[in-house]
Amino acid sequence: MQSQSITIEIPGDIIHTMKLPRNQVKDYLIVDIAASLYKQGILSFGKARQLCKMSKWEFQRELGIRKIERHFEEKDLEEDIDFAFSSK
């Protein structure tokens, strides 16, 4: 499967009206898109955090800020249990 990317154009006048520092607009929008796609079940947790280039814990924090509950599957539980016992 060939790698493909897309570019989304946002008019400058819209960017100018955003209540964000200009140097934070792109990162904020990427995280917001990733969180929204995760919330809708369109992207997995791993792919959503990959989209915004965040660690597991950073993306989990962003979901918490946005009050988005984590879709927790059995394999996620197993990973958390393994991590909890390996850090003792």
pLDDT score, position 74: 72
Determine, yes or no, domain membership for 7: no
Determine, yes or no, domain membership for 5: no
Expressed as residue numbers, the domain containing 64 is 20-86
Determine, yes or no, domain membership for 55: yes
Determine, yes or no, domain membership for 79: yes
pTM of the model: 0.76
Query: Over the stretch 19-76, which tens digit does the pLDDT of each residue have?
Result: 999 999 999 999 999 999 999 999 999 999 999 999 999 999 999 999 999 887 677 6
pLDDT score, position 76: 65
More confident call, 77 vs 14: 14
In a 10 Å sphere around its CB, with 0-12 CB exposed, 13-18 middle and 19+ buried, how is residue 48 labelled?
Answer: buried
